[in-house]
Each structure stands twice: as C-alpha cells, then as structure tokens.
Structure 1
Amino acid sequence: MKVLKFGGTSVASADVIKQVRDILNHTDTDRVAVVVSALGGITDHLLDTMDIASRQDAAYRKSLKGIENRHLEVVRELMPMKSQSGVLSKVKSELNVLETLLDGVFYIGEITPRLSDRIVSFGELLSAFIISEYFKSSGLNAVFKDSRELLLTDQSHGKAAVDFKESNKRIREYFEQEKAAVVVLPGFIASSEDGNVTTLGRGGSDFTASILAAAVEAEELQIWTDVSGMYTANPRIVKQAKPIAHISYEEAMELSHFGAKVLYPPTVQPVLAKGLPILIKNTFDPAATGTLITKKSPEEGRTVRGISYIPGISLLSLEGPGMIGIPGISKRLFEVLSAASISVVLITQASSEHSICIGIADEDASKAIREIDKAFSYERSQGKIKPVIHEKDLAIIALVGDQMKNHQGLSGRMFSTLGKNNVNIRAIAQGASERNISAVIRKEDVKKALNTLHETFFEENIKQLNLFVLGTGNVGAKLLEQLRKQKKYLKDHLRLNVRVLGISNSRKMYFDEQGIPLQQWPDLLQTGAKADPKEFFKTIQHINARNSILVDNTASEKVAERYPQYLRESISVVTCNKIACSSAFSNYKQLKGLASKYRAPFLFETNVGAGLPIIDTLKNLIASGDEVREIKAVLSGSLNFVFDHFNEDTTFHDVVKQAQEEGYTEPDPKIDLSGIDVMRKILILARESGFQLELSKIENRSFLPEEALKTKDNDSFFAALKKHEPGFQKLVKAAKAKKCKLKFVASLKDGKASVGLEHIPAGHDFYSLAGSDNIVLFYTKRYPKQPLIIKGAGAGADVTASGIFADIIRVGTY
C-alpha cells in the first residue's frame, strides 16, 4: 500500500484533478490512500470570508458565493451529467452549514479558535468528497473516508496535538477492514475527544498523510506538488537549479529548515521514525524523476547536496563585558525568547563570551528586543550589558550535505566565492554535525549569493560573466559581434557563459537581467531609457549580478571618474579608455588598490597597443623579478598609418582624413596627432614598470602648428591642416634627405619619458613598420642589449575589440 498526498495546486481545478486520476492509473500498487488538500486557494478564501464576517461586513456573503461557485463548477466539469445530481446536492448541503456558521460569526462579530477550525475544515472536506465521487464515476473502486473519524487530537485548536496511540489503532483497524482500492481522505483535519473539529497546523495535509503511512507501514509516502522534487537551489531564483534525485532524511530536513518549501519537517516525523521512503513528485510533470528521501543518501555524488535560504531575518546581538565568564547568560536569553514564543533560527557566540548573536524572523524582532532589554535591565543599568543591537533586512543562506564533514575547504570555497562578489557576511554558523554551513547576508544579495554558490558547487565549473557595456561605436559594436559569435566556443572550451545584461551609448541605455539577445541589440537599445551614467551605475547595483564586469569602450572622462564606484561594489572594470590610468598618479594607485581590496580585476590591456599583449607581457616581466631600464616604442597606430602614407605626392590633410574614415584615429583626430594619446600610453607603461610619473612631466615635441592645436572642432582642425601643408611637406623632405622615415616615437629611460617625431634610418627596428602597426622594445635587466620586441596591429576596431575580449576572458579565469 502507498499513501499519496496531493496539495492545493495539485487539486486546483477540474483539469488538474483529472491529471491526479491519470497518476493513480500508473501507480504500481494494489491499494492507495489519497490525502487531498482543499482546492487551491480555498483555505485562504475561507479565512478571508471569516475575517470579513467577523468585522460584521455583509460582503462576506458575496465572498461565500464565490466559494460555492468554485466547488459547483468543479463538480460540473468533472462529473458526467447523470452523476452530478447527488454530488451537487451534498455539496450544497455542506455549504448551507458553512453559511450558517458564517452568519453566526457575522452576528456575534467574533471568531473563536474552535469556530475557525470548523469553518476552515470545509475546504478539505468538500475537496475530498468531490474527488472521491469523481473517481467513482470514472470507474475506480474508490471510497471517501472522513479523517476526523481516524485522527484523534487534544483540544488545542489551530495546531492540535495528535494522540498517536489511539489514532494509529483506528487507522490500522479501518484499513484492515476496508477493501476498496482507493481511499480518499481530507488532509489537515481531525477531531478532539469531545467530538469537535480540530486542525493540524502548517503542513497539516502532509502530516495527515505521514500519520497514515506510518500507521499502516506503507511501502512509500508520495507527496505530489507543483515542482519536480527538491532542487539544488530555489529554481525561481537560480535558473540552473536541478532536482535532487536522492537525498537523506537529514539533508531534506536541513534544506527544508532553510527555506525549501516542498517539505515541512515536523509533519513527516511519523514516517521518519519508521524509516519509510518519501517520494516528492510533480503533478504537472509525472514523468519527472522527482526526489526520493530515504534514511541514507547514496554514498557517491556531490558533497554539497543543496543550497537554500531563509528570507526576512533579523540579527540581534547581546554584548557587554559583564557577560564574560558569567554562567547562565545564554540560558536567561533563550528562556526569555522561549517564553515569548520566539523561534531562534541561528545562534553564534564569540569564543571570548563577550557577545551572543541570534537570528530570528523580522516580524519577531521588536518583541524580542523589548523582552531581552527588560530581562537584562539591571545589567544594562550597571553598564555590564549594552542595549540589544538590531540588524534587519537580512537572509540566511546555507550549504547542505551529509558528506560535507568529510571534505576540507568547503567553508573556504563558500566564503571566497561570496567575497569575490562583494557579498558581505554578517554572521556564520556551522552545526556540530557539519551537515550545513550557514551565513547571514543582506537580503539584496540573496539572488547573487545563491547563483554564485550554485555555480561554484553544481555547474561543472561553468562560470557566468555578466557584462555591462558602455559605448557601442566602432569598437563596441565589434566587441558585441565577437561575443555573439564566440558564445558557444567560450562555454564549450573555456567553461565561460558570457551574458550582456546592459548596453549604453551616449543617447540610450537598455537592460535585461536575463541577458540581451546580441543579434537584436541595436533595435533593443533604441527602445531603452535616456542614457545617464549615474542611473547606469544604479541599475547595475540594483541588478546585483554575480561576476559583473563594466566594459568601457568610450573615451569619456565622466565614465572613467566612476571606476572607483564600480570597483568598490566588486564589479570588475575592462576598458580601452586611457583617461583613468593616465590621470593623476594618486588616482591610478587608488584604482589599483581598490581592485586588489575588492578582488575586482581592473584590466586595460587595450590602453596600449590595442590587441597586442604589451601590458600583460610587462606585468609578467615585473612579476618575475625583471627590471625595466628603457622602453622605445611606436605606440600610435594612427600616427604610424599617417606617416607611412604621407609623402610628397599626398597632402597631410588627405591622409589624416583617410585615417579618420578608416577608424584608425579617435573621433577627434587631434587627440592622436597632438601626441597626447601617445603620452598617455608611455605614461601607463612607465607606471606599470614601477615609476611614479605624471603626464605633465612627459616631454612632448609636437609637430602640429599652434593654430591646429587650439582648434575647437574637427572642421577648424582640418582647415588648419590645409593651411599649414607647406610645413608638413618640409618635414617629409627633411627625412627623405637623410634617407630616413618619420616615426612618432615614445621613449622611457631612467624614469623620464618623451614623445615626438624622429628620423628612423634603414635597418632600425622601427624602419619597416607599416600601416597602423605598433612596436615596443623592452630593454630590461634580462634583455639589456637585444630587446624584447612586441609588434603588430595597434589600431582598428577589430583588434581593439579583440583585446577587450581577451581582458574579459582574463576576468573569467581570475
């Protein structure tokens, strides 16, 4: 014999009840006891109606009519016409009794616990009767049995205590005599010794089913609900959560204690005592495996079986020097809470005995503080104990698993994972059984914490990166296209799941917490809100996604100024924007310090050489103990393109215009031609080499005339280039006369840097540099005469985007 319990969602409508009938057809046992809850939502409807009536509001009659219509509609949809009459008559008769009771509540304006139990019981009674009659009409050998005749309790209405000795006797005797294949019983309800209706409290239908299964020593207790078993995490919060196929009683209890709503531990104690298996199944997906709960879970499998949480937690801390070495403080504290009927869900105490910290439900906090302060008023007046410290709007997250105690480093992995994502831990608790590790965090961090822990312990090392992209011009657009094309490769080969959650240009910004479809981003961005850097940051804070990365493809000073805000939130920054790293040295050091403190990588490889691994190579040299003695470099792909194409047969204006149109220069080409861009690059290399250098200390031998440098817009700039063409031609002729080429060279030696045009003779490493290529010569302690050379394309949207892409991957492997 098996006992099957169907909750409210599993009997919410005629269509779902028909699914229950199909489930019974496929149950592999000769006899079943079917315990049912009230039709979905009816219990709450009854409570609301009762409350309306108690306020002597005649609207309760309308509410009652809704309850009546719901039940009659289900009967008409389930039963064939010829079978409806008797069922409808019985249902209406019961509803008439319910109406009389509610009329009484209305007239006296009061609800007693005893009356409340009686009224609420109609939900289960009507549901069980209707379902049993439907089973009969559909050909099943079924009977209805009133649970009030089997379950005996005390007279504590609302949560009655069961008399197991008498109840078990009645259950066994009934099922020994009853020969029907299917017995349908209402859950949740029982009767007291004096014959009054009682209810079994929270999880009452599960309790009914558990008592029945234990009494008859059933093969199995099945709990049918609207989810496919117990999950590795809440699937509404963690989309990658998976059902747990097999779990132990203790693991199930721990997960349920920490918020898994599928099972309410106290209600299944009778089954646990007998060691009977429990199977959790999904009424809406009967073919799903579900979760089998037994005395022991399989020895093999994961160390951590699930991650759960309890929302709405307050931390109360009792502290003071008068607690140290004084016996009985803890006893007094918990006695106070017990007397006030306040449940403690987490306890932690400092080894110094200076403080005790407890976690309780938010709604109990005010009462608890009042009672504790009252109990320790004398100690407070003496300065021995401080007033209770209250922290609210928290949640408890917990790792659960029987095998956790046999594995080292789990706590470290848990807290390291949370720390990397800026999830601050307010308190920690670990049971002596080591079956769970609990941490108290801000409620705003729950989604991020659960997802990042699930990723660490369950997702086969696939790491999710959540990007927020600023700038969708040439570089930004190319980056988004590369991310779209390489998504599958990153997941299959690098175990990285990269999503873009936010995009912004100078006009619009658009967010999608589930990930923006990258083939549609241009159209979606047009539907977004007005761009605002402040709101962009606030939205990222609100989304609070794990492994978040700001990707800055702009040249905006306002964006760069906000990097510290992002890093303080443990949001990594990947940027091709050179402004931050070439700003004041103190700001550069601050950014580096914040990245280290908050474990949020700050990567800017594309600041120098676009996609070339210049900064990364330099970092590795320094990290391995090498010392930079000199750097010679051509660092502007734009300027190299210009002087590679500029000769006596062209004009300087036309070549610069071509470079701009082909995307080799910044939108404002003066940034490149003035030398400021190269100054920033050599400054960044100097700082990465260990030198404390400011931009103002770099010598700039600019070749541009003063008039061009002072222009305010591109039109004026290009007009100035035309005007000064003879001067540019003079530069070309002077180089040609020496059989040299013009290259804009950056130099660093002995901590001093300079940039400017130089004549490069044949045979020099820079001489053959063509197009937009960059080249860097590192002279170091290890490379004193023959430098370490890095050479390649140093400008262009594609290569810059690929450099940013590489930095994103570096963050993913951090």
Structure 2
Amino acid sequence: MNINVLKFGGTSMNDHQTWKRVLDIIRSYEYPVVVVSATARTTRKLLEAGKLAAGGDLTGAKKIAEEIYDRHYELVKNFLDENPHKKNQLILESCDKKLDEKTGLLKKYLDYTAKTGSLEPKMSDAIASIGEQISSYLLAQCGLALDILTQHIEAKKLIKTDHQYGSANPNRMLISQKCGSLETVLESGFTPVIGGFYGEAPDGTTTTLGFEGSDYSASLIGAGVHARTIEIWTDVSGVYTSDPRHIDHARPIAEMSYYDATEMAYFGAKVLHPSTLKPAQERNIPVLVKNIFEADAPGTQIIRESHTNRKVLAMSFKQNMTLVTVSAYETLMGYSFLTKVFAALEDLHLPVDAVNTTEASVTLAIADSPKLDQLTKNLIAFGSVEIESEKGLISLIGCKIAEMKKLNEQIFSSIGETTVDMITFTKDKRILSLVVNENDLIPTAQGIHDQVF
C-alpha cells in the first residue's frame, strides 16, 4: 500500500475556498492520510483567550470562544452552500454539534484558568489544541459533501508523548504501534483526517508538540505507516532561498538534504518545524513542500543526500534575539568557567543559536525568553554579565568551503556600514552566522541575498 501523508497548514485551512482546494488535492491520491493544522490564527486566538482568563477578563476570553464558534460555523455553511449535496443538512448539524461540544469544553477550561488566576502549561496545551480538534473534524465532515469518504481520527489515539507540556517528546515506538490502525481505515476505503500539533501524555492529559507542531505530527505518522512520501502543503511553492515574505527575489529550491532543511528550520525558516525531518530521515521517506494554489508545481523535495553548485544553499534569519556575554572573574578561568556557563544553560533548557568563546569570556546568541532574567542571576555567580537585546541573527546554510573567500567578500561588501556584533562559522555544519541590530536585520539580509544568490 503506497501511503502518502498530506499535511495542510493554517493558511491552507483558512476559509471555505481553501478547504475546497485541500479536498480536491486529497481526492487525487489513492491512499492519503491527512493531517491538518487549526484554521489560520485560531491557535493564537485560543492562547489569547487563556491569557485573558488568567488575567481576570473571563468575559473577553469567552467572547473569543464565541468568535471561534461563529467563524467555523460560517466556514462550514459557506462550504456547504457552494457544494450542494443531499447530506448537507446532516453534515451541518453534525458540525454544529461538534462546535458546541468543543467551545463548551474551551469555556470550562477558561473558567478553571480564571479561577486559578494563572495559565498553567497543562491547561495551556489543553486550550491550544482545541483548534486542531475542531478543524480536523469539520474538514472530514465537509469531505463527505464531495463524496470523499473522509473519516475523522482523534489524534490522541495515535500521538503518544511524555508530560513535557508545550514541547512534548513523542513516544516513537508507541506511535508506530498505534498508526497500524490507519492502514485498516485505508483498506476499508476511508481517508483518515487527523488534527496535528497535539497528542496525549500517559495520564490521558493533552500535550502539544510545540508551535507549528503539525508538521511534526505528519512526520511521526508518516514514519509510523512507512509512507511513500510526507507532503507539507502550504501557500508557497517549496522551501525558498530565504523568506519570500521579507526578501525580494527569493527563489524556490528544487531539492535539498534532510540535514540542510533541518538547519534552515532551526535557524528561523518558517516553512518547516525544526523536528519535522528526523522521523522521515530515519525511514528515508522523501518530504515534499508544495503549494495548494499551484498544486502541479514541483515544490521542494527533501531527501537524504542532495548536491548543489551554489556557494550557499539558503539563508534564514531570526528576530527577537539577545546577546549574553559572560566574562570570568579572575578566580575562575578556562574549562571550569565554560563548563559552568553551559551547565547554567542546560539547567534552564535554553538553546543557543550561536556562540563565540575565549578562555575568559563567552558570548551567546539566544532567542528572547522569560528565562533570561534567571539565567543572568545564575551566571553572575562566576562572571560579569552583559545583556544586549533587540538583536537579529542571519544564518547562511550550506556554505561551500571552497568558496568561502569569495563568499566573505560578497557578504562584507553588502553589509557596508552596518554594525556586526558577532560572526561565527562552523566548517562541519557549513553554517555562517551574523548577529546585527534587529532594526538592521531585514535590510542586511536583503543585501546579502542580493549579493550571494
């Protein structure tokens, strides 16, 4: 059985017209397994409601719940109006009942949050996952209006995780076991539709896989069913040389390796979740990134090994970065000092994007986090600490070592008078990173892209 796992993101799930495109794409596959995100902006709205409830504005929080109900009901009604079918009244009633159930559950969560006065990680995950629970059920129902035998499958039956709320770690072995049930559904002639992003901890509570985690869900399920391909359907035609929303003349990349795609995602590319590719890579499953508005366009194929003649494969960038510089006290030098710095980072689970070290000091580029205040307090015990906020990180991925001299010349000629706070290069990873002021980030990235690509 040649199974294709198809994941559709928030922009693909935006309105009734994109739902029609999504379902037409699904119809073109023999054995598709479908994973969907929440409709565009719904997850952000859900988390906003949770924060309002925690802050005492329960009325405002519940207003958002009502808006989510109204938006989804209108979406389904518009879809059914434009796609007449004898079952449409039953489909609308079923969708309305599910919306009542899920928004009612959301309101209970908001009541609890308002009562406790805080948005606990467990409750945040329960609230955030409502969007995918709604969208997956409604899309499966709308498929019936097009005579597609779509069947909603509850994600918690498949995606098993630990208790790390907000960024749960999947139990890969258990997920593979549970995914066997999907083949039974396919063999019966039905197309499974599953909500991405969330799963279930051992005690039955809801967990999430991190922001944009629906990609990860698709990859985990793809590995579990030994899929022929895992396809990420979005609103751009593949992975680009840089973010086309900000960088003029960014171009799609026809093919790239799992490794380079993962590095792009980690260093800020928005097309893929950073953890997406690991399950696919372990099973050697090609990952395709495609555009629902140009379904016949080739997009980008991500495979085990890929070769390019470019000096640089791609460029990613991140906003909201902070530089932390720690200088050792005279009584603490060398490896002992560096060991303590990185132990402090590990204790707070703070990842570092770029690092520059000497024997007596270290500079770290870290994404803004509420934990930075605590990190600073911990680091003061063995060194003076300087914090520089409002920084941006530019990373050139897949640099060719033989071209580094020419590449450096192009980069620095494009930068001009822009202040560069830190430069790092990793030969093995072929990544060159620069830290600049956040206000200079996009213009600097555009200049580099114009020169290098």
TM-score norm. by structure 2 comes to 0.90
Aligned counterparts, 1:257-656, within 5 A:
257-297=266-306, 299-319=307-327, 322=330, 326-350=334-358, 353-363=359-369, 365-373=372-380, 375-376=381-382, 387-401=384-398, 404-419=400-415, 421-458=416-453
In structure 2, relative to structure 1, the CA distance for the partners of 1:310 and 1:111 (3 Å cut) is closer
The one-letter amino acid paired with 2:45 is: H
Q: Which residue of 1 aligns with 2:140?
A: 132
CA distance in 1, matches of 2:60, 2:309: 56
In structure 2, relative to structure 1, the CA distance for the partners of 1:182 and 1:454 (3 Å cut) is same
**CA deviation digits over 1:516-556, x for unaligned, max 9?**
xxxxxxxxxxxxxxxxxxxxxxxxxxxxxxxxxxxxxxxxx
Secondary structure of 1:9 counterpart: coil
**1:209 maps onto 2:206 in alignment:** no
In structure 2, relative to structure 1, the CA distance for the partners of 1:100 and 1:391 (3 Å cut) is closer
Tell which structure's C-alpha radius of gyration is larger. 1
Aligned residues: 441
Higher RCO (CA < 8 A, seq sep 6+) = 2
CA distance in 2, matches of 1:371, 1:239: 42
In structure 2, relative to structure 1, the CA distance for the partners of 1:239 and 1:167 (3 Å cut) is same
CA distance in 2, matches of 1:120, 1:308: 27
Q: Which residue of 2 aligns with 1:33?
A: 33
CA distance in 2, matches of 1:443, 1:115: 33
**CA deviation digits over 1:1-22, x for unaligned, max 9?**
1101111111011111111112
**CA deviation digits over 1:202-249, x for unaligned, max 9?**
232111101110111111111112222221122233211111111111
- Following superposition, the deviation at residue 199 of structure 1 comes to 2.1
Q: Is the 8 A contact 1:187 1:208 kept in 2?
A: yes
Q: Is the 8 A contact 1:203 1:267 kept in 2?
A: no
Deviates more, 1:37-46 or 1:93-102: 93-102
Secondary structure of 1:441 counterpart: strand
List alignment gaps of at least 5 residues for structure 2. Answer: none
Q: Percent identity?
A: 29
CA distance in 1, matches of 2:191, 2:16: 19
CA distance in 1, matches of 2:296, 2:404: 38
In structure 2, relative to structure 1, the CA distance for the partners of 1:171 and 1:240 (3 Å cut) is same
Q: Is the 8 A contact 1:56 1:109 kept in 2?
A: no
Q: Which residue of 2 aligns with 1:123?
A: 131
**1:44 maps onto 2:47 in alignment:** no
The one-letter amino acid paired with 1:24 is: I
**1:77 maps onto 2:78 in alignment:** yes
Aligned counterparts, 1:724-735, within 5 A:
none
Q: Which residue of 2 aligns with 1:165?
A: 173
**CA deviation digits over 1:456-499, x for unaligned, max 9?**
222xxxxxxxxxxxxxxxxxxxxxxxxxxxxxxxxxxxxxxxxx
Q: Which residue of 2 aligns with 1:96?
A: 104
Secondary structure of 2:334 counterpart: coil
The one-letter amino acid paired with 2:33 is: A
CA distance in 2, matches of 1:93, 1:321: 59
TM-score norm. by structure 1 comes to 0.51
Secondary structure of 1:8 counterpart: coil
CA distance in 2, matches of 1:62, 1:199: 24
- Following superposition, the deviation at residue 157 of structure 1 comes to 2.9
Show structure 1 runs of 4+ deviating over 6 A. none
In structure 2, relative to structure 1, the CA distance for the partners of 1:115 and 1:426 (3 Å cut) is closer
Q: Which residue of 1 aligns with 2:69?
A: 68
Q: Is the 8 A contact 2:355 2:365 kept in 1?
A: yes
**CA deviation digits over 1:321-380, x for unaligned, max 9?**
838963321111111122133221111124xx243221112445544332211x21xxxx
In structure 2, relative to structure 1, the CA distance for the partners of 1:359 and 1:59 (3 Å cut) is closer
CA distance in 2, matches of 1:97, 1:455: 50
CA distance in 1, matches of 2:409, 2:296: 36
The one-letter amino acid paired with 1:25 is: R
Q: Which of 255, 258, 276 is matched with 1:246 structurally?
A: 255
CA distance in 1, matches of 2:325, 2:117: 42
